Amino acid sequence: MPPTIAVIAAGMMGSGVAGRLTQHRVPVLTSLAGRSAESAARAEAAGMQDASDADIANADIILSIVPPGDALALAERLSPHLAAVNRKPVYADCNAVNPETVGRIAAVIEATGARFVDGGIIGGPPAPGTTGTSIYVSGPHAAEMAALADYGLEIRVLEAPVGAASALKMSYAGITKGFTALGAAMMLAASRGGAADDLRRELAASQPALFGWLNRQMPKMYSKAYRWVAEMEEIAGFTGEDRAAGKIFGGAAEFYQRIAEDFAGDRHETDRIEDFLKPRN
């Protein structure tokens, strides 16, 4: 019999992971309390079943896939229910949070007697027929997650303590999403300075691979920018004593906040980026 998995929440990534599991006949629970109609629609499309927090605590594995700023709050919300059940689940925090935050989440979960796993997702939401989304896991109970590989997920177990999977996620996202912020900022600066056409031509001529990557990444960024604010703040914390690096990612958080507000408003800046990327003859 396949395990019962709880995936919280039914965002783009959570519903993608859930959809991959339900395609392999795995029952997937979620919580739709307070969620939007869009979340409910994603959950239905992915085959997720709405459940109470008490029922979620009885799952075999709980995957926390929420915005970084909500990760600790979710653990605290579920903790009394986890403490009340006799058969304790594995609780995997799969969020973009730094190892210090992971330590606080682990303390909440382990106090209930549940087994904690540190996780980090690299890649986009799984879609039918696609590969390339990896869930890295670490900690003493990480091997218990390996069974999910039988149900369509790519699980990579690190022989390392709690915090290692999140450190990997922070480092990878710092490069990819940090560079996306840098590229967008320079496209906007070039547009303000009257150098957009020249910069576009130079990138296409001397950095075709880099320019191609930016063309693929940038349009996907706008709608996600609001979620990346807290992620950049977590990465700034991850850089620790490197004050210069902390300032870089603190600045990226401010930049993504501005882009998120622009995308929700008049789209002046996101339209400028789109115009920069538009193919020319």
61: which strand partners? 5, 90
pTM here is 0.94
**Rounded CA separation 233/256 (Å):** 11
Q: According to the model, what pLDDT value does residue 168 have?
A: 98
Reported as half-sphere exposure (CB side, CA atoms, 13 A), residue 228 has a value of: 26
> What is the mean pLDDT, run by run of 10 residues, along the chain of 281 residues?
96 96 97 94 98 98 96 98 98 98 98 98 90 95 97 97 98 98 98 97 97 96 96 97 98 98 98 94 69
Question: Which CATH superfamily, name and number, covers 5-160?
Answer: NAD(P)-binding Rossmann-like Domain (3.40.50.720)
Which residues lie closer than 8 Å to 67 by C-beta, 6 or more apart?
Answer: 11, 95, 227, 230
pLDDT digits (tens, 9 = 90+) for 137-174: 999 999 999 999 999 999 999 999 999 999 999 999 99
Distances in whole angstroms, Cα of residue 59 to Cα of each of 8, 84, 89, 90: 12, 13, 6, 9
Strands (DSSP E) contained in the chain are 5-8, 28-30, 49-50, 61-64, 90-93, 115-122, 134-138, 154-157
> What per-residue confidence (pLDDT) applies to 257?
98
CA distance 247 to 239: 10
Of 106, 70, 103, 104, the closest CA to residue 91 belongs to: 106
Residue 57's identity, in one-letter code, is A
Backbone region of residue 139 per phi and psi (left: phi > 0; alpha: psi in -120 to 50; beta: other values): left
Gap between the Cα atoms of 9 and 31, Å rounded: 7
CA atoms within 13 A on the CB side of 158: 20
Q: Which two tokens stand for residue 154?
A: 């790519």
